[in-house]
Amino acid sequence: MSTPSDLNAYTVDWSWKKLSFDVQDSKDDRQIMLGDCKNFTKPHIKFTGPNSEPIGSASFHVVSIHADCEVRGRAKKIQAMKRWTSEYTYLSDAFADGGLPVAMYWTSSSGFKHWDFILLNANKEPVARFRSNVWALKKLGLIEFMADYSDRTKEEITITGITVYYNMISRVNNPFQLGGALFSKTGPLDANAADVQMQNVSAQKLDANANVKTDQPTPSDAAVIR
């Protein structure tokens, strides 16, 4: 794997005062996004851009070992591949090349100083790494990209990687998820089923918007009211 100086990378810094983390470009310190972790209800993390525009979110569970996140309005399930190892999968739009979402895999390896989360593509080739600092109080880690990806692709990698990281921190400190691991359904996700689900969610949003617009008085209604 290339050295950090050879790669495009984002730094992830934690603020105890604001209960949030700041993601910046490692080369020019340009702010990429903020992660607000003040919420005790779902979503537990809200990702916003430099101008406070919503980018995504992450939600975790008390018992289930899976997690959920959203990237630019696209819901994604972060599902454990196995019950007792930190290997997760999700369906990627950024790497889909215009077709159905493709399966990506977050795996991990740990040492005394670092807990590495490595993103693999469908061919199990590494495309990114979140190198978290085990003992850090402020410098949480570095997200390294193995290629010059688009900003939207980096957003997906960053949000899913941080979601997996926080989910594993939760698993380590949450005894209820020991029981959750026994009963959780693990393994690959179905891209076709996920695409149908997303279409249904989009249709529901369109229906909701249509109903809101229908409730607005038309010009003729306004004339009658007057």
223 and 125 housed in the same domain: no
Whether 224 shows a pLDDT value over 60: the answer reads no
pLDDT above 70 coverage of the chain, percent = 82
**Amino acid identity for residue 128 in this structure:** A
Domain total in the chain: 2
Q: What digits encode the pLDDT tens for the residues 165-185? A: 999 999 988 888 777 777 778
46 and 150 housed in the same domain: yes
Token pair in block for residue 99: 């077709």
Per the CB < 8 A criterion, the answer to whether 191 and 199 are in contact is no
CATH number at residue 152: 2.40.160.200
165 and 89 housed in the same domain: yes
**Angle formed at CA 191 by CA 188 and CA 196, multiple of 5 degrees:** 135
114 and 67 housed in the same domain: yes
Report residue 104's pLDDT band, with 50, 70 and 90 as the boundaries.
Answer: very high
SS (H, E, C) 59-118: ECCCCCCCEEEEECCEEEEEEECCCCCCCEEEEECCCCCCCCCEEEEEEEEECCCEEEEE
Report residue 150's pLDDT band, with 50, 70 and 90 as the boundaries.
Answer: very high
Q: What digits encode the pLDDT tens for the residues 4-45? A: 446 799 999 999 999 999 999 999 999 999 999 999 999 999
pLDDT above 90 coverage of the chain, percent = 69
31 and 109 housed in the same domain: yes
146 and 221 housed in the same domain: no
128 and 221 housed in the same domain: no
124 and 211 housed in the same domain: no
Say which DSSP state 20 is in. E
175 and 212 housed in the same domain: no
194 and 217 housed in the same domain: yes
* Environment class of 209 (CB within 10 Å of its CB; exposed 0-12, middle 13-18, buried 19+): exposed
Q: What digits encode the pLDDT tens for the residues 133-144? A: 999 999 999 999
Domain that holds residue 199: 190-226
Report residue 198's pLDDT band, with 50, 70 and 90 as the boundaries.
Answer: low
**Whether the model pTM is above 0.95:** no
Average pLDDT over all residues of the chain: 86
178 and 203 housed in the same domain: no
- Please tell me which residue, 13 or 196, carries the higher pLDDT value: 13
pLDDT score at 153: 97
162 and 216 housed in the same domain: no
